Amino acid sequence: MNRSKTARYAMFGMLYFAQGAILSYFTALNSLYLLSFNISMSQIGLMGTIAMIPFVIKIFLGMLSDKVNFFHLGYRRPYIIIGLLVQSLCLFIVPFINPATHFGLFALTAFILMTGMALYDTCTDGLALDTTPKEEEGAIQGFMVGGRALGVVIISAIIGIVAERSSWTTAFNSLAVLTLLPLPLVLMARETERSAERKFEWKAFSAFTHPSVISLALLGALYSLITNAANQIVNPFLQAEFDISLSSAGFFTTIWGVGVILGSLTGGRLIDRIGQRRAVHWAIGISIGSIALLALIFNPTMAWPLVAAFGLAFGYYETVYFAISMNKSDPRIAASMFSILMAIANIGTGIGLSLSGSLVDALNYRWTFFIIAGLNLLALPLLGLIFKPGEDRSASESPSPAHTTE
């Protein structure tokens, strides 16, 4: 990519910021927006599951980008542009759809919107892998993950206020405009030829028949189910119990986002110090404690530190899983294998979103938190299959022949 390092880093960071902006809406306010139309929690969970499908099938979008040069304009850049435009267009359309009377159309729009996001997300990862020198891969990943987290934190802090003081239409239109911010940098980008060693070898996919990889995929689905199932119902729980405002919901998500950032930074350092297996054990314990404590919130003041603690657990667990997935990925199909593992994790997210909504309708919020916390224990039997004896060493002590980045 014939561009300055600063501009290149800014492009990747802004692309992930655009993704984080939409994630902040789905995290903080989508449930509350739909509840304002008297949509049930079961329907909200179903809609969340439908919206996650594109991230389950994103591996095929990656294969499309790997194999098809879009009208000779490039393998990555055209698809990134298309994804951004689709996401922006859907956000302009959403306010005109009443989910109470046209729930199917609303869910379809959400599906198309998230397909656009999955497309530019996958191709952004591909472009980073194609153009980033090995010594810069960690820095680029930091900019992308940091950009997404920053989008969640900043947008969650203001989007609720915009919706409350102006209108939902203004809020959606603002998100549509923010989606287009990376577009000038993407339009100026130039792709380079991809190196031969990154070319697909189909026989490398036999890695998915190994018990360690199968168990790792199951762990990804389980961790994602648990963390996202709990996360979806935090703001609805606080609204039901304490009648919080839209702006307060946004600020709670901001606090959660700050916790995610801190958890991610902590996770990266602890993995190097204590090893991946112990890091997973810590993640399981922290997840159980933080989610169970959400059920014990009895006043709004208690919510602030406990929501932040849950955010820290969320970010830590996610970072640990990503690091293990990178370590286990076969270098011949590194991007595809990592994408498949993420897609399987997203299946867990979809199941979790539907499960938590159904549990709330059948029981109540507090019991749902306790049940979700207990699901963490299902991860323990998987660890013996993922890690071989003696493999539980720090990154500095144990070289990884197949280490890659997202």
Judgement on whether residues 217 and 84 belong to the same structural domain of the protein: no
Judgement on whether residues 150 and 220 belong to the same structural domain of the protein: no
Tokens of 263: 């958890």
Least reliable range by pLDDT among 110-119, 185-194, 227-236, 254-263: 185-194
Per-residue confidence at 272, pLDDT binned at 50, 70, 90? low
Q: What is the mean pLDDT of residues 82-86?
A: 96
d(C-alpha 302, C-alpha 56), whole Å? 36
Question: Looking at 189, 221, 248, which one is the last position of a domain?
Answer: 189
Q: Mean pLDDT: which of 127-136, 281-290, 332-341 is highest?
A: 281-290
CATH number of the domain where residue 219 is located: 1.20.1250.20
Least reliable range by pLDDT among 25-34, 69-78, 292-301: 25-34
Whether the predicted pLDDT of 303 surpasses 60 = yes
Least reliable range by pLDDT among 47-61, 99-113, 374-388: 47-61
Q: Work out the end-to-end distance of the chain between its first and last CA atoms, rounded to an integer number of angstroms.
A: 18
Please report the pLDDT score of residue 311 as a whole number.
92
Judgement on whether residues 135 and 47 belong to the same structural domain of the protein: yes
Please report the pLDDT score of residue 27 as a whole number.
65
Q: What is the mean pLDDT of residues 196-224?
A: 86
Report residue 182 CA to chain centroid gap. 19
Judgement on whether residues 153 and 238 belong to the same structural domain of the protein: no
Please report the pLDDT score of residue 52 as a whole number.
78
- C-alpha count within 13 angstroms, C-beta hemisphere, residue 214: 6
Q: Which domain holds residue 250?
A: 205-406
**Residues shown for the chain:** 406
Judgement on whether residues 56 and 161 belong to the same structural domain of the protein: yes
Question: Looking at 189, 214, 241, which one is the last position of a domain?
Answer: 189
